[in-house]
Structure 1
């Protein structure tokens, strides 16, 4: 049984909560879903900080994202489930920088930074911590949802675009980029840019993503690197 294998297999009794005073219907449903989610239980048993660890494990199983000795940036890393997976996959010779705007408990072996990846200071801190360019940038960042699908889609796409721009600045040639999007994938303009920047661009919904969730992931591999930066420089000189 691999560590990314889907948990479950044996049906367990469903846990139902008594309605508590002051608890909304939405929070009641969320708590019941958490208590009955096999991935939540499996994450707790395996010592992962979140069930999201299984998502990146499943994406790695499919796309071979991680290799020993890599330098990886985990954007929006808190609470640290993805960072834990990265550490296990890249080994002692690799480096992982976990960056989040929120405080995050330390993880042995990882460099944990607090800051906004959109700010130059945070970007400099990441590159200094890596002592060079990154081999992979992963992002599970998502905005708080409004419940309005069109608005939520636009908000997460804006974050993906910002994360993609960050990746273009910090990745070494041949590197990769993984980011959460909503179903419908990336917009045409962003998708065209990713296809220009990377050798392959694919979308995937790992089994650990809840069936009723609109989330999926874009996986871009084979960053073209130097040629892209050269094009950016020439465009800037022409303005």
Structure 2
């Protein structure tokens, strides 16, 4: 990810009469997005794959992992990176949406929040894992504060799940939208991990409030209610 020379090419979008300005701007950015274009060349399913690549490049969370769970895994970009970086690991992807198969990866379709207390779901998982990833996103309503609160709640459940499932020394990574309430998650994560910080990959849009919560070296304490 250190070579960013691919960023320099741009295309101009030809617009049709009647098309809304917001739609034009989104399409223009999408066409000129270097990560979208690089996705096609690399065969990745989403530009989000490059976010995990950057996270792993900086924090080295995948290469030594023997078991990885990816929450909100569709369309599978993070699963592809996990498979590349930890080829021999047991990798499990979970999402509401159907995910196109990834060789050597176990896929579970369902609502993570409903599956948590499902015995069949729990039986499909290892007792303990080394990495829990969450690129989950709550349904957006367009109000940044509400979207922030919904994602904080969702990540809170993912953190609680990670605390119960991680091996000592394990890692937890989750997408957040910056706002007033994320400090709650930071404080909770600090109770269970030696190192906790925020990281914004270059692949995240500059005008987005998106950041990633990086929690490293799980202390293997008795799981507490969050």
* TM-score, structure 2 normalization: 0.90
The correspondence for 1:147, drawn from 142, 154, 158, is: 142
Cα distance in 2 for partners of 1:170, 1:128 equals: 13
Q: CA deviation at 1:146?
A: 2.4
1:42 is matched with which residue? 38
Cα distance in 2 for partners of 1:82, 1:199 equals: 24
Secondary structure of 2:147's aligned partner: helix
Evaluate the alpha carbon distance shift between residue 9 and residue 107 of structure 1 in structure 2; reply closer, same or farther with a 3 A threshold. Answer: closer
Evaluate the alpha carbon distance shift between residue 8 and residue 183 of structure 1 in structure 2; reply closer, same or farther with a 3 A threshold. Answer: farther
1:88 is matched with which residue? 84
1:29 is matched with which residue? 25
- Conserved 8 A contact 2:62-2:85: yes
User: Number of residues paired by the alignment?
Assistant: 225
Evaluate the alpha carbon distance shift between residue 222 and residue 69 of structure 1 in structure 2; reply closer, same or farther with a 3 A threshold. Answer: closer
Cα distance in 1 for partners of 2:148, 2:94 equals: 23
1:113 is matched with which residue? 108
Q: CA deviation at 1:61?
A: 0.7
Gaps in structure 1 of 5+ consecutive residues: none
Cα distance in 2 for partners of 1:151, 1:197 equals: 27
- Conserved 8 A contact 2:71-2:135: yes
CA RMSD of aligned residues (A): 2.2
Gaps in structure 2 of 5+ consecutive residues: none
Q: How does 1:198-209 map to 2 (within 5 A)?
A: 198-209=193-204
2:152 is matched with which residue? 157
- Conserved 8 A contact 2:52-2:78: yes
Q: CA deviation at 1:155?
A: 1.2
2:13 is matched with which residue? 16
- Conserved 8 A contact 1:181-1:215: yes
Secondary structure of 1:108's aligned partner: coil
Q: Deviations over 1:118-142 (max 9, x none)?
A: 1246765555444331110001111
Evaluate the alpha carbon distance shift between residue 185 and residue 62 of structure 1 in structure 2; reply closer, same or farther with a 3 A threshold. Answer: farther
- Conserved 8 A contact 2:65-2:130: no
